[in-house]
Structure 1
């Protein structure tokens, strides 16, 4: 075991009385990443920009990869960013002017890329697997022309579809993506991509369902898409609020409803059932812990296929409220930064909570309540920012927790530990 260990314990006030606070959330990395790729595709280059320390590492990885290509690199490494790997695979397939190697670090070479590579190859790209078939690293060589019809299996990730949709600045009208026959995972994220493309004047049509045709550029673009802060990051505020006294509030500026971000409507709905009210204000939202959920042993149920990034926060809120649950539509969480289903099961078992994993569901019968262990176990985030942020909130229910590698939160929410400091004391050794 290497790296720092963070000791976490609840602030006395957070346990005993209602509190009010304000969170500052990072900008939506989903919107930001799409903006970076569109700028690079439509303008042939991006401007170097000094990024502040609170910029999510995924955005930093994508910007650095785009700049590396622009500056003549032949070996481009995107670190642990799955978003950067998928978007750069598509970008380099249409843009490469020289042979290139695209690689990553950590679990990156264990995360499948085959559905996207297969579709790009069908369009005319030249992409070769350097090690294991279906996984990075990749060798990408230049082609004279790319376009036509691509068949895509987007059942494990909508980012494959978004990566192909974002190529339209380099495509002719009639460019088509056929996803029919399989459901699209996290479909609202694909809708967000289409909405963002429309603000740049790129028109797509989906008809029939799952069959996307590029109609060409519009003479008049829609109003530019404004920056939104990240609804996925907001899920930890919702989960935290559900674990502190009724009457507590958290204010978050910069959140919009309705939102281009697919997680927004799902997050409001899911946590409304857990006693958290969302009130829109002129500049954001105010969350209020209004009530406890139904105390009966009827399990909380939800289908999470469209909002997989919310699963860790929802699971922690339910376990913290001793509410049995069954979540379905979760199979593709196994190919995130970690196998998130197994990671949740492994780490919660250290706290005596026994989850049940099936091929496409995650459940808990509520009969193995959260208990402190002696000695205090060291929780592992499995290299996954969302696992780290979610599990840390259980310090509000246990005397103390220990977590290794707290730095992983920087992938999406660099200031996370600062935001939870009013509720959870942190001592690093």
Structure 2
């Protein structure tokens, strides 16, 4: 499904309820599978979370998680410690190109039985659930925080808990801290000192309702819309000022692009600051790589430059996001250069009209480019990909005055 996006609305006013955080939901779904006394509220309606929930509740020998990278990492750990259960964990063609070796190696050192069905280091993998008694393992810290979170989430169900020694520079620290905070909310004892994480064993937890905060990555598109509009006031819910989600850094980042944030009663109101002076952005996104696409498209729309670093994990996402950004932004007339971990955009006020943006089966490519329709008509190819994290996205864009036509 290709969509032509355009709008004559330069004044944006709306109240929008954003689906629960995919990151929090998937962590809590796994914890609920381990501790059934937990109940969940405001969970994400994303494809990824539905796939995760189905896999945890099902009894299939072959578990296909399609494009859901988080589910692949978390379920690898879950099934590895699920004593007596044997599964083959697989996914889409792209998922079978995304590395899993670092996590598999760590689990095997702890005593897990995992073999590769096709290519060494990549899904599909066959997992024979074991009772794990070993508790200490080293793991590279600069590849994906999801490997670390996966091990931490199952650790309390291990006889001796777990002690993770993180080797090298740690990537996406807020996501690791989110995982540990959710464990703490369930009175599971953890510590994170220096490069060592400890999660202590706990057989059961008390009944408790866990309410999922709305997704901050999804909020990024509204920050972008407000920055690109002439005037705007958009209220989105449900958001906390002291969020566990690393992407809440959006508040500080977009303040530099003329977006004011106001929290009240678990809602966040974004307003455009008039006559704001814009400057080239220099940002280290090592802790928040998922918002890089939104930020660079916003900068293009504002006619400012940016230099973004800490982006090395983007090459192993749904697509190689750095290369995808370079190709699609160049079509729009941008002067952009990328390395394995940086992106540099030169300031320019020229944006080409009616460009077809390829999405590469990547939900964030579709949604990051959508706000640009405030500046020029734009075509989003395979627009249905947004269902991976934000199924209601296009309806919410219509509510903001977008004219959306299917081509």
Alignment TM class, shorter chain as reference: over 0.9
- Relative to its length, the structure with more strand (as a share) is 2
Task: Show the counterpart of 1:409.
Answer: 386
Deviation per residue, 1:306-355 (Å, 9 max, x gap): 00111111111111001111000001111111111111111111111131
1:35-114 equivalences in 2 (<5 Å): 35-43=28-36, 55-68=45-58, 71=59, 73-114=60-101
Q: Does 2:183 align with 1:197?
A: yes
Q: Structure 1 pair 403/219, CA: closer, same or farther in 2 (3 Å)?
A: closer
Task: Show the counterpart of 2:299.
Answer: 318
Task: Show the counterpart of 1:388.
Answer: 366
1:340-351 equivalences in 2 (<5 Å): 340-351=321-332
Task: Show the counterpart of 2:226.
Answer: 241
Deviation per residue, 1:177-213 (Å, 9 max, x gap): 110x312211101000000001111111123x12112
Task: Show the counterpart of 1:418.
Answer: 395
> SS of the residue aligned with 1:363?
strand
Q: Does 2:357 align with 1:379?
A: yes
Any gaps of 5 or more consecutive residues in structure 2? Answer: none
In structure 1, what is the Cα distance between the partners aligned to 2:255 and 2:93? 36
Q: Does 2:2 align with 1:5?
A: yes
In structure 2, what is the Cα distance between the partners aligned to 1:85 and 1:125? 16
Deviation at 1:261, TM superposition (A): 1.2
Q: Does 2:266 align with 1:283?
A: yes
In structure 1, what is the Cα distance between the partners aligned to 2:338 and 2:206? 46
| Native 8 Å contact 1:109 1:135 kept in 2 | yes
Q: Structure 1 pair 105/133, CA: closer, same or farther in 2 (3 Å)?
A: same
Segments ≥4 residues shifted beyond 6 Å = 218-223
Q: Structure 1 pair 172/218, CA: closer, same or farther in 2 (3 Å)?
A: closer
In structure 1, what is the Cα distance between the partners aligned to 2:275 and 2:19? 29
Any gaps of 5 or more consecutive residues in structure 1? Answer: none
Deviation at 1:214, TM superposition (A): 2.4
Greater CA drift, 216-225 or 137-146 = 216-225
> SS of the residue aligned with 2:81?
helix
| RMSD over equivalenced CA pairs, Å | 2.3
1:223-238 equivalences in 2 (<5 Å): 225-238=210-223
> SS of the residue aligned with 2:127?
strand
Deviation at 1:145, TM superposition (A): 3.2
| Native 8 Å contact 1:354 1:364 kept in 2 | yes
Deviation at 1:367, TM superposition (A): 4.5
Deviation per residue, 1:262-285 (Å, 9 max, x gap): 111x11010000000000112311
TM-score when normalising by structure 2: 0.94
> SS of the residue aligned with 2:200?
strand
Q: Does 2:347 align with 1:366?
A: yes
Alignment coverage as a number of residue pairs: 405
Q: Structure 1 pair 38/223, CA: closer, same or farther in 2 (3 Å)?
A: closer
TM-score when normalising by structure 1: 0.89
Greater CA drift, 232-241 or 281-290 = 281-290
In structure 2, what is the Cα distance between the partners aligned to 1:382 and 1:159? 22
> Which of 214, 235, 257 does residue 251 from structure 1 map onto?
235
> SS of the residue aligned with 2:222?
helix
Deviation at 1:42, TM superposition (A): 2.5
Q: Structure 1 pair 225/292, CA: closer, same or farther in 2 (3 Å)?
A: farther
